[in-house]
Amino acid sequence: MFESISAVTNSAGYILGGVGVTLLLVGLSLFIGFICGIVLTLGQVYGPALVRRFVGVYVWFFRGLPNIVLLFLFYFALFPFMGFDMPAFGVAVTVLGLRSAAYQSQIFRGAIQSLSDGQMLAARSLGMTRWQAIRSIILPQSLRLSLPGWSNEYPVLLTDSSVAYVIGVAELLTRTSQVISRTGEPMILYLTCAVIFILLNYGGMMIIQYVEKKVRIPGFGNNEAECL
């Protein structure tokens, strides 16, 4: 028993360092997913037919494949084939980010489509260009409407990030496994790892809920958009 406790405490620093890597991985992927997701959505909603088709295929591809297959595909095949010498962490961020973009774009598209046509019409009637209307009317509104969907994206990415283990990214799970292979105690250490993930999960959710409350607008989002 004493051995197990000291095993945990001795390696605590190393494992906790993995928390940093995990959070960085999740944060960067969320960010890439957000930016690419917006671009995809705008392409899908406002773009010409060819762009819409491309976005459709992109979303189908990234939502149809398991993370692990995507990671293998990019790490062992695509990047080497294209001549990129990308470290495992970079591959993981790319894959998780591009995949998240597919999901985020669909959350976002739903929000844009739920806005009434009148918002765009009113903006254009004031002399705004299409792009101005998208930037100052459509995006701010649909971003707010997307928040509930997005608060889902964080826990999904957090739990998915552990899959980066298979290509050896030194995140929380990988480090836990490394420590276990030195000191044993798989049960205690993996449970600890699980608990850390759960804390990160619910801690993050609390922050997101706080932000959601902060950017709330009275009467916006919780009632159906009027479309007479």
Residue 84 in contact with another protein, rule: CB under 8 A: no
Contact 26, 201 (CB under 8 A): no
Quickly list DSSP for 53-112. HHHHHHHHHHHHS-HHHHHHIIIIIIHHHHT----HHHHHHHHHHHHHHHHHHHHHHHHH
Q: By rule CB under 8 A, what string of x and - marks binding of each residue 157-186 to another protein?
A: -xxxxxx-xx------x---x--x---xxx
Residue 1 in contact with another protein, rule: CB under 8 A: no
To another protein, the closest distance from the beta carbon of 116 in angstroms equals 7
Six-digit token pair at 188? 């205690």
CB within 8 Å of 27: residues ≥ 6 apart: none
Contact 176, 18 (CB under 8 A): yes
Q: By rule CB under 8 A, what string of x and - marks binding of each residue 45-64 to another protein?
A: ---------------xx-xx
Residue of 128, 199, 207 whose CA lies nearest to 158: 199
Six-digit token pair at 47? 């773009």
Q: Which is nearer to another protein, 35 or 194 (CB)?
A: 194
Residue 16 in contact with another protein, rule: CB under 8 A: no
Residue 224 in contact with another protein, rule: CB under 8 A: no
Side chain identity at residue 62, one-letter code: F
Residue from the set 128, 168, 183, 212 that interacts with another protein by CB under 8 A: 128
Give the interface size with another protein as a residue count (CB under 8 A).
69
Residue from the set 5, 16, 35, 191 that interacts with another protein by CB under 8 A: 191
Residue from the set 51, 119, 178, 183 that interacts with another protein by CB under 8 A: 119
Q: How many CA atoms lie within 13 A of 116 on its CB side?
A: 11
To another protein, the closest distance from the beta carbon of 48 in angstroms equals 12
Q: Is the dihedral of CA 139, 142, 145, 146 positive or negative?
A: negative
Contact 151, 207 (CB under 8 A): no
Residue 65 in contact with another protein, rule: CB under 8 A: yes
Residue of 16, 27, 18 whose CA lies nearest to 171: 18
Residue 77 in contact with another protein, rule: CB under 8 A: yes
Would residue 127 be called left, alpha or beta, if left means φ above 0 and alpha means ψ between -120 and 50 degrees?
left
Residue 127 in contact with another protein, rule: CB under 8 A: yes
Interface residues toward another protein, by CB under 8 A: 60-61, 63-69, 72-73, 76-78, 80-81, 83, 116-119, 121-129, 132, 136-137, 140-141, 144, 155, 158-163, 165-166, 173, 177, 180, 184-187, 190-191, 193-194, 197-198, 201-202, 217-220, 223, 225-228
